[in-house]
Structure 1
Amino acid sequence: MSTPQARRGNTRQRIQDVALALFSEQGYDKTSLREIAERLEVTKAALYYHFKTKEDIVISLFQDATGPIDELITWANGQPRTLQTKQELIRRYSESLRSAEPLFRFMQENQATVRDLSIGERFKEQMLTLFGLLKEPDAELSDQVRCLTALFSMHAGMFAMQNVEGDPEEKRKAILEVATELVTAANPPSRRPARPDSAQTASP
């Protein structure tokens, strides 16, 4: 039997899912709280218990999506700056985007709203932090472009690949493969930090 807390959590997620679906179908500005409540088949009072405004719903979605990214950044900061760490960072970031695809679609289609709510600034800060973790401090400009492209290809790929035939999981893997190749190319062996044990391993 589910607890009241679990039921409240499920209702909150249902509201988020339905709101995002309506925002995508008819636009953020043209969607009202009343329509969200009707689609959920609940009263507006029940909806107000969780969210007072549409803005509150969008902000909650961003908070839920940015939490895993913060955890990923914390993890990466505790790892050695090796190519393997950067490749794993990209892989984990790809995983974190799985459930956030509808939110990124909303961001793409409602850029003015994202700016007005100032929620895009937080996401921008996270992207700059991830960028700094992927590139070397003295990276050449072309390698910096590769690292930025690796990140944003994962976002753009979710939209661009919608009209490409194929299994969604296979398309996600293809996007990850390309992003990983870009990160690898941006960190050639000659520019990677020497491993602490390199002197030992080089001896016969």
Structure 2
Amino acid sequence: MGVTMDGTKQQRRGNTRQRIQDVALELFAEQGYEKTSLREIAERLDVTKAALYYHFKTKEEIIVSLFEDLTKPIGDLIEWGRHQPHTLETKQEIVRRYSLALAGAEPLFRFMQENQATVRELRIGETFKDRMRGLRDIIIDPEAQLADQVRCISALFTLHAGMFMMQDLEGDFEKRREAVLEVAVDLVTQAHGSTHGGA
């Protein structure tokens, strides 16, 4: 049930709005957000600027729409997590689902990593911080010791770091993702065992 980059792109290829998003993200990655114009996006798509304008009036609209589409699973995860008990199983499931959500949104997170100044200026920067706070609130047990709360939060950041740092490691994308996920699950398991006397 792994989400692959190719699978994600194939699902998104059919619709014009999604094609615009994907091509814009490719161009932003190649030459940077600031140096990419709507005209260049239209040319790469082989459509008129007016056709592009029908869907998006600015580059920011494209990025915001991509962010909203690709991070919807994260919003859904936070909503699900708010109604779950603070059990080990819940925390492990949060980490698993978040790993899949990150894999599905990998091109967007790469853009955010490589364009941090731009992201801070766009409203997606604040929205992403809100999502991270939401994840923090559902993965930590407020009664846990501080070190265990840090372990749970670190599990989320392990998934982030793994996405950007593991490109140079051996194995295919899915094998690397599973290895990073294993480490993140170990962190929440260790935190839970420490808080609940090794349970």
TM-score (norm 2): 0.88
- Match for residue 112 of structure 1 among 103, 114, 117: 117
User: Following superposition of structure 1 onto structure 2, how do residues 76-87 of structure 1 map, counting pairs within 5 Å?
Assistant: 76-87=81-92
What corresponds to 1:177 in structure 2? 182
What corresponds to 1:90 in structure 2? 95
What corresponds to 1:132 in structure 2? 137
Q: CA deviation at 1:144?
A: 2.2
Task: Give me the whole-angstrom Cα distance separating, in 2, the residues matched to 1:169 and 1:124.
Answer: 27
Structure 1 segments unaligned to the other structure (5+ residues) = 1-7, 195-204
Q: State whether structure 2 residue 67 is matched by structure 1 residue 62.
A: yes
Q: CA deviation at 1:191?
A: 3.0
Q: Please give the root-mean-square deviation of Cα atoms over the aligned residues, in Å.
A: 1.9
Structure 2 segments unaligned to the other structure (5+ residues) = 1-12
Change (3 A) 1:92 1:47: same
- % identical equivalent positions: 67
Q: State whether structure 2 residue 126 is matched by structure 1 residue 121.
A: yes
Q: CA deviation at 1:87?
A: 0.3
Per-residue CA shift, 1:95-130, capped at 9, x if unaligned? 112220000000001111111012111111111121
> 2:119·2:125 contact (CA, 8 Å) conserved in 1?
yes
Q: CA deviation at 1:189?
A: 5.7
1:171 counterpart letter in structure 2: R
Q: CA deviation at 1:28?
A: 0.6
TM-score (norm 1): 0.86
Task: Give me the whole-angstrom Cα distance separating, in 2, the residues matched to 1:163 and 1:190.
Answer: 35
Structure 1 segments of 4 or more deviating over 6 A?
none
